[in-house]
Structure 1
Amino acid sequence: MSTRRRAAVAAAVGLAGLTGRGLAHSGGLRGTAPESLAVPTWLFLATGGGVVGASFLLASFVTDRAFLTRIDGWRGPTVRVGRVGGVAGRLLGLVGLALVLITGLSAGSVTPTEPARNAATLIVWVGWWGAFVASTYLVGDTWPTVDPFRTVAELLPTLDRAYPDRLGAWPATAGVLGLVFLEVVTPMADDPRLLAVVVAGYGVVTVAGAVVFGSATWFGTADPLSRLAAVYGRVAPVARTGDGWTVRLPGTGATETDWVTGRDEVALVVAVVYATTYDGFVGTGLWQTVAETVVGAGLPPLVAYVGLLLVGFAAFLGGLWAAGRLARRTAATFLTPAALVRRVTPSLLAIAAGYHLAHTLGTTLALTPATLTVLAAPVSPPATVPTLVVPAWFGAVGIATVLAGHLLAVWVAHTVSYDLFPDRLQAVRSQYGITVVMVAYTMIALWIVTTPGGAPPYV
């Protein structure tokens, strides 16, 4: 691997989809995963799937409804964050955005063009996509305070037009998929100027949406990055309430019944799960073989990537709806498949969080010293920036985070089923379908994070 490619790989932890070509795909746990497994791959994956299946069996023995209610409803002390904290968060977001735009647009004339030495690339990938997004599910969702686009929008007058109900969360869903598609097919991670232009373009679009429909409506419904952070925040152990910030058990925020209200919200959650899967899959040898085959047969590479995005998303979404139909039969309930799917979908957020951490943690740790060094001197950083060497065994951490996310998802689904059904056997049987889906997701995620890969072909 060339020095330039290695630098690009290292810089790959970025703004939810506003990214580029090999960075996110060869970085993260992919760069630290073992080249081969000590046991056959099929046995390793079957073991991972078996862990999830076994966790369902163990959870099914927890039938004390009062105990489940106490666990799900437990809340710790509430802490108020004063006005100073809010102002500091907004200033941090605005300063970060300004640095991205200034250092990105001036790349090649004032600031370096190398991704690992340009503040725009490091802020977007390491600071936002790697560290900040992880904080939304490991700690709590502070994006509404830090979001610089929201801060700007709230300073502007609004037209307060009625947001079309039929759109719902579909713009956010399309945005999440569209951003990860840009991450895969464009060279923005290698080109700080292009990255800055895309960030600026995103800002114009989202601020315009907030001006037309109002900040609360736009950022709470249609803005992709805000919705991404908000759904991840459902997994977090700290939650914002009307009285301040309160502590809860991880994953319990996903069991609330008031936010997944339709197919659009279901699709949004699945898009969050699928985005990182798509991002990782395009760097595998299997996709390279498939892509070379279909492109060799005359299909344009861009069409191949669009097809993978849409077909894969449809498969993930279709599997969830199939689980809902199966749950209706096995639980012998009059609830519709749509109602069952809406209630069980939030459990998948724990899976998304575990896979995101596995996909980005290695690169985030490796590039943190470089990020701090460049931020100290964004115009003239040293010719060689420091990095941490991630040891080979670190690949096991990615495997552990994937499995932890799936185990938490099983527990959340178990809690939801007991909230839905009065009969214990009904509650257990209703989980058959979603458990199968979770086992499938587990095996796919484990295969991706343990498969040596590289940059996607043709891009």
Structure 2
Amino acid sequence: MRALRFLTVAAAAFIISPAPAYAHGFGRSQALPLPYWLYIFGINAVILATFVMIALSMEHRPTGGTYPRLDLLSVRPLRVLLTGRWLPAALRLLSVALLVLIVLCGLLGNQDPASNLAPVFVWISWWVGFSFFTALVGNIWPLVNPWEILFERASGPARRLGLRSPELRVPYPAALGVWPALVLFAAFAWVETVYEGSSNPFNLALLILLYSAITWTGMAVFGREVWLRRGEAFSVFFGILARFAPTEVRTAGACKGCDACRISGECVNCYECFARAAPGHREINLRPPAVGLGLPERVPPGQMTFVLFMLAIVTYDSLRETPLWTASGIPPTAGLLALPLVFLGLYLGFVRLSRRVSRSRVPPGRLATAYVYSLVPIAVAYQVAHYLSYLLVQGQAAIALISDPFGWGWNLFGTAGYRVHAVLDASLVWYLQVALILAGHILAVYLAHAVALRTFKDPLPAARSQYPMMALMVFYTVFSLWILSQPVAG
């Protein structure tokens, strides 16, 4: 407890210390604003796609949680690679080594953010790059989470020696849900988008140590699996992104006694059960993108709020750089707190309108939790569209810094002299941005249609209920295009 108090006081002291401000935690997005003609084209394409999807939805009824999938473990070379011991062990060792390296770089290294690996790795390579990987490939965070690995390693010797387990397993209050994870994620978002010292290596190291102490305390009090599922911010965040991914882990048959499986009705992306299952009952599947967002399940209110907060933060991180927002003079912290509330209010308002238009007796709360995942494709598409050039251009700084992580003049791998250069042509970036936003919108509309048919059963009220939700999606998509069309202020 003394260590935790010390870290809290130390982190607070550095939070109020002055430091240079950087957008996105470190550096600025390099993407040029969309040309006006392409912005208008994007708006018209979104509206046209919406009407086409409405017309097609009248002819097609999605089939619950059934979708085509290919088990990668049925391919022998992939089975040998994915089920062998060396690949998971190597990834887990690398993850822990990187955590230790980043903390040491922050505490001991050169405090110039451009000369230290810690800010570049945390804000670009991990936060942006790993988020992209999770959404576009799959979720390996349960495998490489360094806090879980270190806690598990510390627990092993105690069990073997017959000592008391570090897990007290205090019953987790059901009312808490994922609210602790949301609070921690909100704090992380504040550090990324508001805190002026977020690029300072020493500050980052202290904040990582503070988060480590909180995470290990949660695991010790409530149990490792319980805290990872409900209290660890990044496990919840990457778990939501993984629903969009084209891969999944699946255990044959729903598990007994598993909260995650009881909620979904199937054992999909339940990593605890996957780890415990017999090898013959495990699957690692390829599947169509975004189908994990449309699976029939009960979404708790806390999870719904977490999703909406994610969408708001993705938007706020870019909106705050527009000339209109800069000229408004809104304090950054106030904006960060207000925008999620605006998103929540708008969403619940459109849900109530959807219920009224459909003339249904389905409770508003059930509708709100049912529709929320259908907005995720727009947010993922916007995130990739906005930060792709940021990752590909400024992310190159890690190539030089990997040879000199502490900024001490080393050249371990011969890359210290590497210079950042442009990777994509500006016009190609523009076309990719509009294509990504349009694809995300189409996926969102389809998912909303699937949810409506599953919720209302009768096609007529289901069709009526979709009009307000599609209006909300058009607004969100057009708003995202508008942000992309704005120059970066300052």
TM-score by length of structure 2 reads: 0.79
The residue type equivalent to 1:154 in the other structure is E
1:282 aligns with 2:282: no
* Structure 1 residues 255-266: aligned runs within 5 Å: 255-258=294-297, 260=299, 262-266=300-304
1:341 aligns with 2:368: yes
SS of the residue 1:162 aligns to = coil
Residue equivalent to 2:10? none
* Structure 1 residues 150-229: aligned runs within 5 Å: 150-155=148-153, 156=155, 157-229=166-238
Instruction: Identify which of 418, 422, 443 aligns with 2:478.
Output: 443
SS of the residue 2:70 aligns to = strand
Which stretches in structure 1 are left out of the alignment for 5+ residues? 1-18, 295-303
Which shifted more, 123-132 or 381-390? 381-390
Deviations 1:285-308 (A, max 9, x none): 1111111xx6xxxxxxxxx22322
Deviations 1:324-363 (A, max 9, x none): 2122222222211111111111111212211221232111
Residue equivalent to 2:120? 122
Instruction: Identify which of 349, 358, 380 aligns with 1:353.
Output: 380
| Alpha carbons of structure 1 residues 58 and 100: separation in structure 2 relative to 1, 3 Å | farther
Which shifted more, 425-434 or 377-386? 377-386
| Alpha carbons of structure 1 residues 319 and 213: separation in structure 2 relative to 1, 3 Å | same
**In structure 1, distance between residues paired with 2:435 and 2:66:** 24
Residue equivalent to 1:23? 23
| Alpha carbons of structure 1 residues 309 and 56: separation in structure 2 relative to 1, 3 Å | farther
| Alpha carbons of structure 1 residues 165 and 55: separation in structure 2 relative to 1, 3 Å | farther
Q: Is the 8 A contact 2:64 2:295 kept in 1?
A: no
| Alpha carbons of structure 1 residues 191 and 384: separation in structure 2 relative to 1, 3 Å | farther
| Alpha carbons of structure 1 residues 125 and 259: separation in structure 2 relative to 1, 3 Å | farther
| Alpha carbons of structure 1 residues 119 and 427: separation in structure 2 relative to 1, 3 Å | same
Deviations 1:142-185 (A, max 9, x none): 11111101112223321111111111111222222221121122
What is the CA RMSD across the aligned residues, in angstroms?
A: 2.5
The residue type equivalent to 1:244 in the other structure is E
Residue equivalent to 1:64? 60
* CA apart distance, 1:52: 5.2
* CA apart distance, 1:26: 8.9
SS of the residue 1:430 aligns to = helix
Residue equivalent to 1:7? none
SS of the residue 1:39 aligns to = helix
**In structure 2, distance between residues paired with 1:282 and 1:161:** 41
* Structure 1 residues 8-407: aligned runs within 5 Å: 21-24=21-24, 30-34=29-33, 37-39=35-37, 43=40, 46-47=43-44, 49-51=46-48, 53-61=50-58, 63-65=59-61, 68-69=62-63, 72-79=66-73, 81-82=82-83, 83-108=85-110, 113-155=111-153, 156=155, 157-242=166-251, 243-258=282-297, 260=299, 262-291=300-329, 304-379=331-406, 380=410, 384-389=417-422, 390-393=424-427, 394-407=429-442
| Alpha carbons of structure 1 residues 440 and 178: separation in structure 2 relative to 1, 3 Å | farther
**Higher relative contact order, chain-length normalized (CA < 8 Å, sep 6+):** 1
The residue type equivalent to 1:447 in the other structure is W
Residue equivalent to 1:16? none
Which stretches in structure 2 are left out of the alignment for 5+ residues? 1-18, 74-78, 156-165, 252-281
* CA apart distance, 1:397: 2.1
Deviations 1:365-405 (A, max 9, x none): 11343312321342425775421314322233223222222
| Alpha carbons of structure 1 residues 409 and 26: separation in structure 2 relative to 1, 3 Å | farther
SS of the residue 1:376 aligns to = coil
Q: Is the 8 A contact 2:119 2:201 kept in 1?
A: yes
- Structure of greater Rg: 2
| Alpha carbons of structure 1 residues 439 and 451: separation in structure 2 relative to 1, 3 Å | same
TM-score by length of structure 1 reads: 0.84
